[in-house]
Structures are given as C-alpha cells and as structure tokens.
C-alpha cells in the first residue's frame, strides 16, 4: 500500500471517566464490537485491529462492501459490529464467533451473521494525512467522504449537546451499545494514547461464589472466582467471574475458601446433571481464544455472597469480567437472583445507525 498512513496503526484510545463531562465536547455512542482501522488503496484493502493484527480474512463480506463504497484511497477508524437476528440489538457473541480458523466456516458465518462497519474517524483521504488535523476537520471530511454510503457501512452519530448525550447514554443501551465517547474538537489523532474519554454503564449485583479457578502461578493461589445467580426456576446459573486481586489477597482467598470446597456430586453445577443447552462453566472448558487454556474449576458450596460491579449483561451473563466491591455476609445466597438486575429499556439499533446520517 502507498497511503499517507500505512498499516499497522494502533487505534487512539479512551480513558474511563465516572460521568459525562461538561464543556466543549463532541459525544458519540460507544459501540460494542471490534475496533478496526480500514486501509484502502484501490483494490488493496486491509482491516486492522486494536492489537494491530489484520482481521481481513474474517470479514470477506465487508471487504467487498469497502471496495464498493469507500473512497478509492482512505484510512478510516471505526467499529465492526454484528446485529442480532431481529436487527434491533448488537450481538457481541455472534461477532466473536466470526474469528474462526477454517475458511469454510468464515464464508458460512459471513452469510449467516453478516457484519456492519460503523465509521467514526478519518486518518487519511487520497494523498492527505489527516492525523495532525483537529477532530472537527476530520469529522467534516469523513461526513463528506461517506455521504453516499448505505448499510452495512454507517457513520456514527455525534452531538455537542450534553443533554442529548445524556439521553443517548440511557436510550442506546437498549440497542446493545456500551456507553459514550467524548472527544474535543481540537484534538489530533494520537495512536495508542488515551486521548478521548469513555463513559460506561456501571451497576452492582450481589452474586453467589460457586467456585474458583487457580492462578497460573500455583495451585494454592486463586485466579478467579466463579459467580452465580438463581434463575426463575431456582437453579443457580453461571453469570461471570471476578479476577482482579492483588497476589497476596489471592493467597489469602485460597485459604479462606478451602472449608467450602465440595464435590461436583453435591454441587448445583454437576456436569452430569445440567440441562442440555444450559450455560455452565463446563460449556467453556476450552477458551475460544486459547485452546490450551484450562478452564476447569474447583466447586464450592454456594454459601458466600459478594457484591460486584458490572457494566451490562449479554444474555444471562455479564458482558465483561465483573469487579469486586465487597463481601456481603448479611445476604442470603438464595436471595441472589436475576430479579435484582436492572434491565435497559429496549431500543432499536436501526434508530442509532440512522442517526449518523441525519
């Protein structure tokens, strides 16, 4: 490629903040997908990822779309997302499935769960490098360059109104989005630096500790704690993990939890008895990203309750690793149900995607 900006390029990042900032900011939805920088030089197209490794082979349908719709020579920053079957919400799990080593499987998934691309920044156009230009110039040029695109290419909506951004923050979560991004109009594009601000949804839940995995450093060190919530049928469902502890605390936890260690015959996640299709840790015995990673766990009697912080749910599980808040010795394990979780109001993804062309 002979572009003003050539791959690989590490995307510009965002620093988490607790609240929507006041001041001269441009706000955008925070998309829940794969961050991607698209490089196009005529017939050559490459999809770069956050870790600067190409993802081109996994999204052949987007390569064809980029060839048909993007400017002849450009570098565009954005997010690859996959809508669910209804088209009304994002489906991150379906997106994860798209990263598959078999070419035949890649082709099949490209037809079954086609991806979309949401553009939100411009690094180069024609022979011009835009990275040193202020975001106001980059956004104006991006709007002009993508004025005629149609689905599955989209331009992310923006607003300078904090009131509108606040409305987006609550509304767009119903379509599966992740929060907000705040940028300043005069900011240049700085790869791999946390120049932007991100505001994510944050909630707490009381969960049952139902098991643990050991740390890679040793068999007497806790790696992560497995969390459960009781569903409407009174069964303890696997909901996620917490794992960010200091090393000394990991060793202390191992000692503290030993009296609760039990057998699988006496555990609600008895692998021989779980219903077909139910999500339990056994379902993830091998990691999709690392086939050698052992995800077996040590079962615990479900007697300890922990309060955790999470951003949002994906189906019956926490979308990301939860964060430890505090132990809840005052809380009965059987009171830790899905009913305590706050459900976002449903919102149509098409409304969010359409806003970028308004």
Q: What are the boundaries of each domain within the chain?
A: 13-201, 203-340
Q: Tell the CATH topology of 203-340.
A: OB fold (Dihydrolipoamide Acetyltransferase, E2P) (2.40.50)
Distance CA 36, CA 45 (A): 12
Burial class (CB in 10 A: 0-12, 13-18, 19+), 281: buried
Q: pLDDT tens for residues 9-48?
A: 999 999 999 899 999 999 999 998 999 999 999 999 999 9
Beta-carbon contacts of residue 80 (< 8 Å; ≥ 6 apart): 33, 34, 36, 47, 55, 59, 62, 95, 115, 116, 117
Distance CA 208, CA 231 (A): 12
Which regions of the chain are under pLDDT 50?
Answer: 272-294, 358
Q: Can you give the pLDDT at residue 358? A: 40
Strand partners, 196: 14
**What does each C-alpha distance from 207 to 121, 258, 303, 325, 339 come to in angstroms?**
40, 19, 10, 11, 12
Distance CA 272, CA 270 (A): 6
Q: Can you give the pLDDT at residue 341? A: 86
Asked whether the beta carbons of 47 and 54 are under 8 A apart, the reply is: yes
**What does each C-alpha distance from 73 to 53, 55, 121, 143, 223 come to in angstroms?**
20, 19, 15, 16, 47
Q: Tell the CATH topology of 13-201.
A: D-amino Acid Aminotransferase; Chain A, domain 1 (3.30.470)
Q: Which of 15, 30, 88, 197 is catalytic?
A: 30
Secondary structure class of 356 (helix, strand, coil): coil
The DSSP line for 65-114 is HHHHHS-SEEEEEEEEE-B-TTSSSB-HHHHHHT--S-HHHHHHHHHHS-
Tell me which DSSP letter residue 10 carries. P
Helices 60-69 and 103-112: angle between axes, nearest 10 degrees = 60
Beta-carbon contacts of residue 216 (< 8 Å; ≥ 6 apart): 223
Is 30 marked active-site? Answer: yes
Distance CA 22, CA 223 (A): 39
The closest alpha carbon to 177, from 282, 90, 237, 268, belongs to 90
194-200 and 153-155: which strand pairing?
A: unpaired
pTM for the whole thing?
A: 0.76
Q: Can you give the pLDDT at residue 344? A: 73
Q: Can you give the pLDDT at residue 356? A: 62
Q: Can you give the pLDDT at residue 271? A: 56
Look up tokens 């917490």; give the residue.
242
């Amino acid at each position: 490629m002979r572009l003003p900006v050539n791959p690989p390029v590490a995307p510009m990042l965002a620093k988490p903040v607790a609240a929507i900032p006041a001041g001269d900011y441009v706000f955008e939805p925070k998309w829940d997908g794969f961050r991607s920088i698209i490089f196009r030089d005529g017939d050559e197209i490459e999809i770069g990822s956050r870790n600067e490794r190409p993802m081109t082979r996994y999204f052949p349908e987007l390569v064809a779309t980029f060839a048909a719709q993007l400017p002849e020579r450009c570098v565009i920053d954005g997010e690859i997302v996959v809508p669910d079957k209804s088209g009304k919400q994002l489906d991150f799990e379906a997106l994860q499935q798209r990263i598959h080593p078999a070419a035949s499987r890649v082709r099949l998934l490209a037809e079954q769960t086609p991806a979309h691309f949401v553009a939100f920044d411009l690094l180069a156009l024609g022979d011009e490098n835009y990275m040193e230009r202020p975001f106001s110039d980059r956004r104006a040029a991006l709007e002009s360059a993508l004025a005629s695109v149609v689905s599955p290419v989209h331009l992310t909506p923006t607003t300078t109104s904090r009131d509108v951004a606040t409305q987006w923050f609550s509304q767009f979560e119903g379509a599966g989005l992740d929060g907000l991004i705040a940028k300043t109009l005069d900011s240049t594009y700085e790869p791999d630096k946390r120049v932007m601000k991100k505001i994510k949804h944050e909630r707490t839940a009381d969960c049952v500790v139902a098991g643990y995995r050991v740390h890679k450093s040793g068999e007497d060190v806790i790696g992560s704690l497995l969390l459960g919530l009781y569903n409407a049928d009174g069964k303890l469902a696997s909901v996620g993990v917490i794992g960010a502890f200091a090393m000394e605390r990991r060793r202390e936890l191992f000692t503290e939890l030993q009296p609760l260690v039990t057998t699988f015959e006496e555990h609600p996640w008895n692998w021989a008895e779980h219903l077909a299709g139910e999500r339990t840790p056994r379902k993830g015995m091998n990691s999709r990203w690392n086939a050698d990673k052992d995800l077996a766990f040590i079962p615990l009697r479900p007697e300890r309750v922990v309060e955790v912080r999470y951003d949002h749910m994906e189906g019956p599980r926490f979308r990301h690793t939860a964060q430890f808040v505090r132990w809840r010795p005052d809380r009965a394990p059987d009171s830790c149900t899905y009913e305590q979780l706050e459900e976002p109001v449903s919102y149509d993804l098409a409304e969010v995607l359409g806003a970028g062309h308004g």
